[in-house]
Amino acid sequence: MVMGALYLENRMGPMPVLTWGSRGFHVEQIQERLAAQGFYRGNIHGILDGATWRSVREFQAKHGLRVDGIVGGATWQALDYGVADDPVVPAQAGRVVVNDDVIHLLARVIMAEAGAEPYVGQVGVGAVILNRVRNASFPNTVAGVIYQPKAFESVSRGTIWRPVSKDAYRAARQAIAGWDPTGGAIYFWNPGKPVSPWIWTRNIITRIGRHVFAR
């Protein structure tokens, strides 16, 4: 929930007017988009703090907007039409329905499960989740897969709610866009942690960082 925000209408629907101190998912969206375009270099934490405010002002100055650090209609529109380095995410990718909430949730799990792994390993974790969505043995939505009981340690322990990095968001987008460095894996685990002996009966495809990927 964005605190103390006014709402306006643009082609994306109701969007809040964000000012210093605003919090919530829309601020995370702003930080993510600014980071993708090289204006913001901090963590994606959902607070419009000094670093985010300065990044907004820098973006506004470059795009000929009023430089006030307030994210209103013109700034939202410029961010929405801005060119980022990440691939364009389709509205649907296979059986996976994609929207901002899906990207956000996928990035959270990537951060919690593989935030300390190489970038390709982060994409791999995202790919595993998407592969499960497309597999008849698992729930058919990203949220269903992620919140399936005992499926992910990060959900059970609550680490899914930690701040999300810009790399985790980028990894989520690239996994959705089709990059699967695991070769179709539907399982991953860290052999340095206690795991069920059953998991070792799966067909191992590859190892990336500290994770083993299998189907």
Residue 196 makes CB contacts below 8 A (sequence gap 6+) with none
Is the domain of 32 the same as that of 120?
Answer: no
Is the domain of 113 the same as that of 50?
Answer: no
Is the domain of 48 the same as that of 113?
Answer: no
Higher per-residue pLDDT: 180 or 177: 180
Q: Which of 81, 116, 136 corresponds to the end of one domain?
A: 81
Is the domain of 129 the same as that of 207?
Answer: yes
> What range defines the domain where residue 53 resides?
6-81
Could you tell me if residue 26 is inside a domain? yes
- DSSP-H helix ranges across the chain: 25-36, 50-62, 73-81, 100-114, 119-133, 142-146, 153-157, 166-176
Which domain CATH number covers 170? Answer: 1.10.10.2520
Across the range 17-45, mean pLDDT stands at 87
C-alpha closest to that of 72 among 19, 20, 32: 19
Is the domain of 198 the same as that of 110?
Answer: yes
Is the domain of 27 the same as that of 98?
Answer: no
- CA atoms 58, 174, 160, 121: torsion sign: negative
CB 213 within 8 A of CB 186: no
Taking 60 as the threshold, does the pLDDT of residue 149 lie above it?
yes
Q: Give the span between the Cα atoms of 44 and 33, in whole angstroms.
A: 10
Is the domain of 71 the same as that of 99?
Answer: no
Which domain CATH number covers 33? Answer: 1.10.101.10
Is the domain of 98 the same as that of 193?
Answer: yes
CB 33 within 8 A of CB 55: no
Q: Give the span between the Cα atoms of 56 and 207, in whole angstroms.
A: 40
Across the range 161-172, mean pLDDT stands at 89
Tens digits of residue pLDDT in 105-128? 999 999 999 999 998 899 999 999
pLDDT value of position 80? 66
Taking 50 as the threshold, does the pLDDT of residue 86 lie above it?
no
Report if pTM > 0.85.
Answer: no
Angle separating helix axes 25-36 and 50-62, nearest 10 degrees = 50
Give 87's pLDDT tier (boundaries 50, 70, 90): very low
> How many domains does the chain divide into?
2
Taking 90 as the threshold, does the pLDDT of residue 54 lie above it?
yes
